[in-house]
Chains A and B, each alone.
Chain A
Amino acid sequence: MSLPVKPLEQAIEVETLHMTMRFGAFTALDDVSIRITPGSFHALLGENGAGKSTLVKCMMGFYRATSGEMLVDRREALVPDPRAAHALGLGMVYQHFTLVPSLTAAENLVVSRDDAPRVIDWRRERAALAEFMARMPFSVPLDQPVRALSAGEKQKLEILKQLYLGRRFLILDEPTSVLTPDEADEVLGHVKALCEAGEITVMMITHKFREVTAYADAVSVLRWGKLVGSALVSDLSHADMARIMMGEAELPDPAPRTGMPGDAVLSLKGARASDRSGLKQIVIDALEVRAGEVVGVAGISGNGQMELMEVLTGQRPLGAGSIEVKGAPYGASREEARVKCVRYLPEEPLHNACAPRMSVTENINFRSFDLNGSGRRFWLSGREMRTRAAELVAGFKVRAASLDAPMASLSGGNVQRAVLARELTGEVDLLVISNPCFGLDFTAVAEIRARIMAARNGGAAVLLMSEDLDEIMELADRVLVMSEGRIAYEKPIADAQIAEIGHHMGGYSA
């Protein structure tokens, strides 16, 4: 009987030497040398586009570095493709789950093995898996389809999979971006313990300073493809890390809050809707957003925020209850949204707020192409549309090849900005936004948050759904937590505590 799991061996050392990667004239990675000692927990910091993913893709064999080399256990290692990297004991946990949703955890583990048997003897495999799990510090239910697992369990399973495959050096790409603070602490704590036991070496890509300080031994910082700093975590403060990461760039200060909340603009009463699977319901008994306040909805994705957003944008029928805007029933038609000045930034704006193949100009004019002042127009005015688009593209710093480029050709951050440009222009009384800064770099984040704050100070009611707790703590006047399709927690921001919010996000009510 061939043992499916290699016995745990020693952690390995990985070192890059003068690693350089050029794409045409663009240098994505410039002479980067990093040494990760065996059993250490190494953090890799950097803004978007700093070259973090290029570096790990070179290490994992997805790219072939233009020059430079990699040493594994002090021996030169050639990785022409990911298989070669796997054979050396290098493994990667991606930011997006690579588990197959309809397969069970056990099936996912077995099928990922290179030497998976042709005919799977499930009794034997199960015994072997149970034995493997017994040696691990954490476990996941093996017989459920991965679809049914929580984000934390999926992330644990991703890490277990790497260990099951006998990998000794793990690259974790923002492993906690979809986890609650509690789940993140649990997962990283276990990973840290495996490092300390000398079983694995870890390199983690992250942008959360808290996790770096709490779990990493050493940190390397990339900026514009260059290694700009490498140090022991114990020698650095958060401010030091931010300074190395940002260089000399100045961040706009968070906008000040002014004004007092006014009358309720949005109110939901007894709203019910079913989710995509039709099995679960979201139930919002009462939710009010008043003029001049930001209500932040925290929660792990998949707890009903998307459904709430879809109900508000009119993409999902309301099963029962009512939605009122400014005291009158609201059906989310384009006409009603225009008259009541309701604006949206849904999640995945390319699909939920744009026509991907239409041009940037056309997309930016979706709210206004048929308006002529306050009246209607039959013939569109191409010149007016172009002028408006050009102004907004410049004003919101949207980077597009041309105004005629299809929306789908823009990067995620630029789609986000283009939609915000459209939605935040003109009079806004109610703004419903979801993860407005997802995947944007520091400067863009600060800018977009300032615009949201400006809308609030201008008297708009803002409903902000975000998976980024820091964002909610910064912007919101009142914070709610959605869990299992319900509002599980509500507090003014002054009384809200991160730990308490985290517990409710995880579904425990203290």
Chain B
Amino acid sequence: MDSDIGLWAIPLAILGGAIRVSPPFLFVSLGEVLTERSGRINLGLEGTLVFGAMSGYALAYQTGSPWVGVLAAAVAGSLFGLVHGLLCSLPRVNDIAIGIAMMLLGMGLAFFFGKPYIQPVAPDLPAISFGWWSELQQVQAALRVNVLFLIGIAAAIGLWWMFRATRLGLIIRVVGDSSDAACAMGIRPSVVHTFATAAGGAFAGVGGAYLSLFYPGSWNEGISSGQGLMAVALVIFARWNPIACLWAALIFGGAGALGPALQSAGISQGYYLFYAAPYVLTLGVLIATSSPTRAVTGAPGELSITK
């Protein structure tokens, strides 16, 4: 049944788009929050995302199970994070430079190993229909929610809880906020940095698996449109708070769906400009919240970009 719901189609399409497009943003930004809260910045998550997409797709195709693919992407991501973490623990190595190198390396390796997997079709990740109560096809389409999205929400809440109420979470915050205090407590900051970066990489890898195994749902070299880089901006937008990352990811996802939504509602004039909405939004948010004289609130004290 396909009924005409007029302009209601636009917000509905944006909602559906937000749910469908946001998981990679969410996972990468959660990984970045974890890394940045420990005081490092990993700009290489774009490369990790693309490599995660490739390795997840490849393993899912080989084994026939998308979950094996997700696991493989997480492992690959944590390896990338580990390399970044270990390299940056060497004296006088800059985390931003290493991040950019890791980004290029990740994409290069993914394209190299991914060539044979462009043609084959791997199984998709399962989705749950929360739109069964409605007869409207648009509602049903909008509320088809992937399991990974739900896992992402759980992970955001889990991280928030971890930072608040576990020893591990507090130690990560201590290291990120004051290396001196951490050393005085007998914690070795570089160890915490390394593991936080590795765990952050695993999140980014899972984000990549979502891209290749659900939406868009295939592996090719143009699979990422910079989600890994946008997520870094998103972390600043979310003020290093995992719950805020969830909302930020949804807003970005929604903005990304603006163009297609307008197109589907028949507004075709200049709609392609709306494809730029997430990027315009990023610029707008960063400009609006920046100041030459004020420090960013909530920023971890040891972070190299905000120091």
Quick check: which of B45-53, B263-271, B290-298 contacts chain A, the rest being far away?
B290-298
Quick check: which of B78-86, B169-177, B220-228, B250-258 contacts chain A, the rest being far away?
B169-177
Q: Which residues of B contact A278 (CB under 8 A)?
A: 291, 293-294
Please report the C-alpha to C-alpha distance between residue A317 and residue B292 in the assembled complex, in whole angstroms. Answer: 9
Q: A83-B186, A120-B166 are in contact. Are A100 and B174 (CB under 8 A)?
A: yes
Quick check: which of A2-10, A27-35, A111-119 contacts chain B, the rest being far away?
A111-119
Residues of B in contact, count (CB < 8 Å): 24
In the complex, B301 has a CB within 8 A of chain A:
yes
- Is there an interface contact between B165 and A120, defined as CB atoms closer than 8 Å? yes
Q: A82-B186, A83-B186, A119-B166 are in contact. Are A100 and B173 (CB under 8 A)?
A: yes
- Is there an interface contact between A277 and B168, defined as CB atoms closer than 8 Å? no
Produce 1/0 per residue, B169-193, CB < 8 A to A. 0110110011011001110000000
In the complex, B92 has a CB within 8 A of chain A:
no
Please report the C-alpha to C-alpha distance between residue A82 and residue B291 in the assembled complex, in whole angstroms. Answer: 41
Q: A98-B178, A278-B293, A316-B293 are in contact. Are A110 and B170 (CB under 8 A)?
A: yes
Q: A103-B170, A118-B167 are in contact. Are A98 and B184 (CB under 8 A)?
A: yes
- Is there an interface contact between B293 and A276, defined as CB atoms closer than 8 Å? yes
Q: A83-B186, A278-B291 are in contact. Are A101 and B301 (CB under 8 A)?
A: yes
Write the nearest CB–CB distance from B238 to chain A, whole angstroms.
Answer: 16
- Is there an interface contact between B181 and A98, defined as CB atoms closer than 8 Å? yes
- Is there an interface contact between A277 and B180, defined as CB atoms closer than 8 Å? no
Write the nearest CB–CB distance from A480 to chain B, whole angstroms.
Answer: 24
- Is there an interface contact between B173 and A102, defined as CB atoms closer than 8 Å? yes
Q: Which residues of A contact B177 (CB under 8 A)?
A: 100-103
Please report the C-alpha to C-alpha distance between residue A94 and residue B178 in the assembled complex, in whole angstroms. Answer: 14
Please report the C-alpha to C-alpha distance between residue A276 and residue B306 in the assembled complex, in whole angstroms. Answer: 13
Q: Which of A86-106 contact B (CB under 8 A)?
A: 94, 96, 98-103
Q: Which of B283-307 contact A (CB under 8 A)?
A: 291-295, 297-298, 300-301
Closest residue of chain B to A96 (Cβ to Cβ) is: B180
From the candidates B165, B168, B171, B293, name the one contacting A274 in the complex (CB within 8 A): B293
Q: Which residues of A contact B295 (CB under 8 A)?
A: 276-277
In the complex, A138 has a CB within 8 A of chain B:
no
Q: Which residues of B contact A117 (CB under 8 A)?
A: 167
Please report the C-alpha to C-alpha distance between residue A381 and residue B171 in the assembled complex, in whole angstroms. Answer: 54
Q: A102-B301, A116-B167 are in contact. Are A111 and B174 (CB under 8 A)?
A: yes
Please report the C-alpha to C-alpha distance between residue A98 and residue B183 in the assembled complex, in whole angstroms. Answer: 9
Q: Which of B89-103 contact A (CB under 8 A)?
A: none
Write the nearest CB–CB distance from B71 to chain A, whole angstroms.
Answer: 25
Q: Which residues of B contact A101 (CB under 8 A)?
A: 177-178, 301
- Is there an interface contact between A111 and B178, defined as CB atoms closer than 8 Å? no
Q: Which residues of A contact B300 (CB under 8 A)?
A: 102
- Is there an interface contact between A111 and B186, defined as CB atoms closer than 8 Å? no
* Majority secondary structure of chain A interface residues (helix, strand, loop or mixed): loop
Please report the C-alpha to C-alpha distance between residue A119 and residue B170 in the assembled complex, in whole angstroms. Answer: 10
Q: Which residues of B contact A121 (CB under 8 A)?
A: 165
Closest residue of chain B to A110 (Cβ to Cβ) is: B170
- Is there an interface contact between B178 and A107, defined as CB atoms closer than 8 Å? no
- Is there an interface contact between B180 and A111, defined as CB atoms closer than 8 Å? no
Closest residue of chain A to B176 (Cβ to Cβ) is: A102
Please report the C-alpha to C-alpha distance between residue A99 and residue B178 in the assembled complex, in whole angstroms. Answer: 8
Q: Which of A64-99 contact B (CB under 8 A)?
A: 82-83, 94, 96, 98-99
Q: Which residues of B contact A100 (CB under 8 A)?
A: 173-174, 177-178, 181
Q: Which residues of B contact A98 (CB under 8 A)?
A: 178, 180-181, 184-185
Please report the C-alpha to C-alpha distance between residue A119 and residue B295 in the assembled complex, in whole angstroms. Answer: 32
Q: Which residues of A contact B167 (CB under 8 A)?
A: 111, 116-120
Q: A82-B186, A101-B178, A102-B301 are in contact. Are A107 and B166 (CB under 8 A)?
A: no
From the candidates A94, A277, A317, name the one contacting B297 in the complex (CB within 8 A): A277
Query: Chain A: interface residue count, which band?
Result: 20 to 34
Q: Which residues of B contact A508 (CB under 8 A)?
A: none
Closest residue of chain B to A83 (Cβ to Cβ) is: B186
From the candidates A107, A277, A316, name the one contacting B170 in the complex (CB within 8 A): A107
Q: Which residues of A contact B174 (CB under 8 A)?
A: 100, 103, 111
Write the nearest CB–CB distance from B50 to chain A, whole angstroms.
Answer: 33
Write the nearest CB–CB distance from A313 to chain B, whole angstroms.
Answer: 13
From the candidates B171, B298, B301, name the one contacting A111 in the complex (CB within 8 A): B171
In the complex, A122 has a CB within 8 A of chain B:
yes
Write the nearest CB–CB distance from B174 to chain A, whole angstroms.
Answer: 5
Most buried by A among B170, B294, B295: B170
Closest residue of chain B to A82 (Cβ to Cβ) is: B186
Q: Which of B134-187 contact A (CB under 8 A)?
A: 165-168, 170-171, 173-174, 177-178, 180-181, 184-186
Write the nearest CB–CB distance from A452 to chain B, whole angstroms.
Answer: 30
Q: Which residues of B contact A112 (CB under 8 A)?
A: 185
Q: A94-B184, A102-B173, A103-B177 are in contact. Are A118 and B166 (CB under 8 A)?
A: yes
Q: Which residues of A contact B301 (CB under 8 A)?
A: 101-102
- Is there an interface contact between A274 and B178, defined as CB atoms closer than 8 Å? no
Q: Which residues of A contact B181 (CB under 8 A)?
A: 98-100
Please report the C-alpha to C-alpha distance between residue A14 and residue B28 in the assembled complex, in whole angstroms. Answer: 53
Closest residue of chain A to B301 (Cβ to Cβ) is: A101
Closest residue of chain A to B187 (Cβ to Cβ) is: A111
Q: Which residues of B contact A118 (CB under 8 A)?
A: 166-168
Closest residue of chain B to A103 (Cβ to Cβ) is: B173
From the candidates B170, B173, B292, B297, name the one contacting A120 in the complex (CB within 8 A): B170
Q: Which residues of B contact A102 (CB under 8 A)?
A: 173, 177, 298, 300-301
- Is there an interface contact between B294 and A277, defined as CB atoms closer than 8 Å? yes
Q: Which residues of B contact A99 (CB under 8 A)?
A: 181
Q: Which residues of B contact A94 (CB under 8 A)?
A: 184
Write the nearest CB–CB distance from B285 to chain A, whole angstroms.
Answer: 17
Closest residue of chain B to A315 (Cβ to Cβ) is: B293
Please report the C-alpha to C-alpha distance between residue A276 and residue B291 in the assembled complex, in whole angstroms. Answer: 10
Q: Which of A247-295 contact B (CB under 8 A)?
A: 274, 276-278
Write the nearest CB–CB distance from B121 to chain A, whole angstroms.
Answer: 43
Q: Which residues of B contact A276 (CB under 8 A)?
A: 293-295
Q: Which of A127-177 contact B (CB under 8 A)?
A: none
Write the nearest CB–CB distance from B293 to chain A, whole angstroms.
Answer: 6
Please report the C-alpha to C-alpha distance between residue A505 and residue B301 in the assembled complex, in whole angstroms. Answer: 28
Please report the C-alpha to C-alpha distance between residue A101 and residue B178 in the assembled complex, in whole angstroms. Answer: 8
Please report the C-alpha to C-alpha distance between residue A200 and residue B293 in the assembled complex, in whole angstroms. Answer: 45
Please report the C-alpha to C-alpha distance between residue A276 and residue B185 in the assembled complex, in whole angstroms. Answer: 29
Q: Which residues of A contact B168 (CB under 8 A)?
A: 118
Produce 1/0 per residue, B184-207, CB < 8 A to A. 111000000000000000000000
Please report the C-alpha to C-alpha distance between residue A122 and residue B173 in the assembled complex, in whole angstroms. Answer: 17
Give 14 new A-B contacts, CB below 8 A, not counting A103-B174, A276-B294, A278-B293. Answer: A98-B185, A99-B181, A100-B173, A101-B177, A102-B298, A107-B173, A112-B185, A118-B166, A119-B165, A274-B293, A276-B295, A277-B295, A277-B297, A317-B292
In the A-B complex, the 5 residue pairs with the smallest Cβ-Cβ separation, listed nearest first, are A278-B294, A111-B170, A98-B184, A98-B181, A116-B167
Q: List 7 A-B contacts (CB under 8 A).
A: A100-B173, A101-B178, A102-B298, A102-B300, A118-B166, A120-B166, A274-B293
Interface, chain A (partner B; CB < 8 A): 82-83, 94, 96, 98-103, 107, 110-112, 116-122, 274, 276-278, 316-317
Interface, chain B (partner A; CB < 8 A): 165-168, 170-171, 173-174, 177-178, 180-181, 184-186, 291-295, 297-298, 300-301
